[in-house]
A and B are shown apart, each in its own frame.
Chain A
């Protein structure tokens, strides 16, 4: 017997038509004609291939992967909106899904009417919705706006309403698809807290997001989809780091650096010319080549993934004609153990014009302690190691 909140996906396959067909009679007739003349191709594209996983009630799964890897399709199949081509899916209990911001929201009706409609779509009785109504309004911070037509809501308000309805109507399984990106930072934090509370009450959570910190904060298990196939399944930290590594490698390969000046060498050296270490010194040695002498502004940055840097250093330098070596020394590196990227960019000193693209020049590993884990439901921004001592008593 299955239990409420349990998810079983057994060898699930899903395919879509490869051609972007419009659902029109005249197009179908054209295709039929083409097929009769044996010229038609009816191609299929596999969106999910042989997906197998199970989730215990109360577990939390972070679903990660590039755009188009099948995450949303999988969520739709789990929410029983879509049917698989092959395989078996069992989701036990009531499913609350926040797959897009305006999930089931009717613009001509008021927020109040929408709450009731979504409630009955989720299979709740009016009385049950009424019991939770005040909580929903309070959480969504809508106050008087609840009796206004939804078409006059801002997109943030619509998202808040959608999330509040999905999260407060006590689903056994909650599916959240990167909807949180619309809310402001404070509300995102509130959503994460709510998801944690929902988890604590025994709801199973499947959370799709590109925000690694949020996934790490909310989920204990990670599933990484790549081109419709499960590429990794395990503790969220491990899956996230192998996923992160793969996108870094892809990003590195894709970088084409142009510009007026050339980076000949970029090197990162730790204490005593060894590897970089937490709280140790760090030397960055660059060699740049320029055709003419000029004044330039050199930027260095360190990032964890291919995205935003953790910190940036800047210096105006005088470049000679030919090669110039630029060194930057940091006394103490505030980063925990992990793999990082060194970013370099050179810009013209007064005008700010680009001389060398801002790009990841090299990567380096830092040895040292792991970062302390954050409490569940809290997202940290970037890894920074702070030397601290504790006293208790």
Chain B
């Protein structure tokens, strides 16, 4: 009954290798754009079907933090905002931060929350973290409304140098997507990390110049700092261009951009590598 005629192990030359060409990868992602949209819609619908406050949630998170920062942090630390009202200063930092933290916390869990799908249907798995990032982007768009409100309240006009914003946005999205891809894939294999995620993000919030300015970081380590945390340069860039009417600080933005795209590329490769085993452990 138990005798089996096949050999006990496959010859090594048979080993299955998955080849992912960079062009093929881009094409696969492009082909699944509709899927990303559908999944993002699903996430939004499922969310707002239950939450009565609906889209308001997207506003509440950054606004609440802004109020807390203004009431407590600013009193204690006396942040140098370069003459800009502190609520505006901190809210502009909270927008990219909220985008990043929502993406990482939602997208990081997107794979394990969709394990039934991972197990059954074949499609590029990166659509889940990508959909989470897309949803976080929509939240950010909603949160922009409050930014407009703050400009009105403080009778402040965005500077013409705001034209740099699209470039900063690109760096912000690249870094966020890269981190989200890595976290989502690693969490599949190390599921208890998901419980550590909120704490890590909380620490990261205070390690990033959101409540304070980048001049808080000693100038000698500032380059290293933005390489490790490109968001710092992005947030600083937004404040300089939108609020202060200055150009971006290229000494910081260039290394941050390189680092952000390196994270994206490495994150994607890591994700693709780990993807092959998702169904085995799901």
On A, residues with C-beta under 8 Å from B are: 11, 13, 16, 22-26, 28, 46, 49-50, 76, 79-88, 95, 97, 99-100, 102-106, 108-109, 113, 116-118, 120-123, 125-126, 226-227, 229, 250
Docked-complex contact A106 and B5, CB < 8 angstroms: no
Q: Which residues of B contact A83 (CB under 8 A)?
A: 16, 18, 276-277, 279
Q: What A residues does B18 contact at CB under 8 A?
A: 83
Asked if A13 and B38 sit within 8 Å, CB to CB, the answer is no
Contact A121–B188 (Cβ < 8 Å): no
Instruction: Report chain A residues within 8 Å CB of B121.
Output: 79, 81, 97, 103-104, 118, 121-122
Q: Are B188 and A227 in contact (CB under 8 A)?
A: no
Contact of B34 among A82, A103, A125, A226 (CB under 8 A): A125
A226 to B11, CA, bound (A): 21
Q: Find the A residue at minimum CB distance from B5.
A: A229
* Contact between A25 and B279, CB atoms less than 8 A apart: no
Q: CB of B122 within 8 A of chain A? A: yes
Q: Is the CB of B6 within 8 A of A49?
A: yes
Q: Which residue of A lies closest to B281 (CB)?
A: A23
Q: Which one, B11, B42, B120, B188, contacts A106 given CB within 8 A? A: B42
Contact status A229-B189, CB under 8 Å: no
Q: How far is the CA of A49 from the CA of B45 in the complex (A)?
A: 44
27 A-B residue pairings within 8 Å (CB atoms): A11-B14, A13-B9, A13-B10, A13-B14, A16-B280, A24-B190, A24-B191, A25-B192, A25-B193, A81-B121, A82-B280, A83-B18, A86-B14, A86-B16, A87-B16, A100-B116, A100-B120, A102-B116, A104-B117, A105-B116, A108-B46, A109-B42, A109-B45, A117-B39, A121-B35, A229-B4, A229-B5
B135 to chain A, nearest CB (A): 15
B200 to chain A, nearest CB (A): 13
Name the A residues within 8 Å of B118 (CB-CB).
81
Nearest-Cβ distance from residue B280 to partner chain A, whole angstroms: 6
In chain B between 239 and 282, which residues have their CB closer than 8 angstroms to a CB of chain A? Answer: 276-277, 279-281
Q: Lowest 10 A-B CB distances belong to which pairs?
A: A86-B10, A80-B122, A86-B14, A25-B190, A13-B10, A82-B279, A108-B46, A49-B6, A50-B6, A24-B192
Besides the known contacts A100-B116, A113-B42, 7 further A-B residue pairs in the complex with CB atoms under 8 A apart: A13-B10, A23-B188, A79-B120, A83-B279, A86-B15, A104-B121, A250-B1
Please determine whether B276 and A117 come into contact, CB atoms closer than 8 angstroms: no
Scoring B14, B121, B280 by chain A CB atoms within 10 A of each residue's CB, the highest score goes to B121
- CB contacts (< 8 Å) of B7 on chain A: these are 49-50
Partner of A120, one of B14, B34, B192: B34
A199 to chain B, nearest CB (A): 22
Could you say which interface size class chain B belongs to? 35 or more
Q: Which residues of A contact B151 (CB under 8 A)?
A: none
Q: Mark B121-143, 1 if CB is under 8 A from A, else 0.
A: 11100000000000000000000
Chain B residues whose CB sits within 8 angstroms of the CB of A122 once the complex forms: 121
* A25: B residues at CB distance < 8 A: 190, 192-193
Does B119 have its Cβ within 8 Å of any Cβ on chain A?
yes
* Chain A residues with CB below 8 A from B49, complex form: 108
- B1-28 contacts to A, CB under 8 A, are 1-2, 4-11, 14-16, 18
Task: Please report B residues at the A interface, Cβ cutoff 8 Å.
Answer: 1-2, 4-11, 14-16, 18, 31, 34-35, 38-39, 42, 45-46, 49-50, 116-123, 188-193, 276-277, 279-281
Residues of chain B contacted by A250 (CB below 8 angstroms): 1
**Chain A residues whose CB sits within 8 angstroms of the CB of B45 once the complex forms:** 109, 113
The answer to whether B16 touches A84, judged by C-beta atoms less than 8 angstroms apart, is yes
Nearest A residue to B14, CB-CB: A86
Nearest chain-B residue to A122 (Cβ)?
B121
Pick from A11, A81, A86: contact of B122, CB under 8 Å: A81
Query: Cβ of B42: which chain A residues have Cβ within 8 Å of it?
Result: 106, 109, 113, 117
B114 to chain A, nearest CB (A): 8
Residues A109 and B46 in contact, CB atoms below 8 Å apart: yes
B123 touches A121 (CB 8 A): yes
If A76-B279, A113-B42 touch, whether A85 touches B15 (CB-CB below 8 Å) is yes
A95 contact from B1, B38, B39, B122, Cβ within 8 A: B122
Whether B6 contacts A28 by the Cβ 8 Å rule is no
Rounded to whole angstroms, the CA-CA distance of A250 and B120 in the bound complex is 32
Task: Give the nearest-CB partner of B31 in chain A.
Answer: A123
Q: Inside 8 A of B15's CB, which chain A residues have their CB?
A: 85-86
Q: How far is the CB of A66 from chain B (nearest CB, A)?
A: 11
Task: For residue A33, give the distance in angstroms from its CB to the closest CB of chain B.
Answer: 16
Minimum CB–CB distance from B189 to chain A (whole Å) comes to 5
Shortest Cβ distance from B45 into chain A, in angstroms? 7
Chain A residues whose C-beta falls within 8 Å of the C-beta of B280 in the assembled complex = 16, 82
Contact B16 A227 (CB under 8 A): no
Q: With A97-B120, A125-B34 in contact, is A229–B6 under 8 Å at CB?
A: yes
| B-side contacts of A85, CB under 8 Å | 10, 15-16
Closest to A21 in B: B281
Across the interface, name the chain A residue whose C-beta is closest to B123.
Answer: A121
**CB of B142 to closest CB in A, whole Å:** 21
Alpha-carbon distance A316/B115, docked complex (angstroms):
57
| Distance to closest chain A CB from B247 (angstroms) | 43
**Which residues of chain B have C-beta atoms less than 8 A from A87's C-beta?**
10, 14, 16
How many whole Å from A82's CB to the nearest CB in chain B? Answer: 4
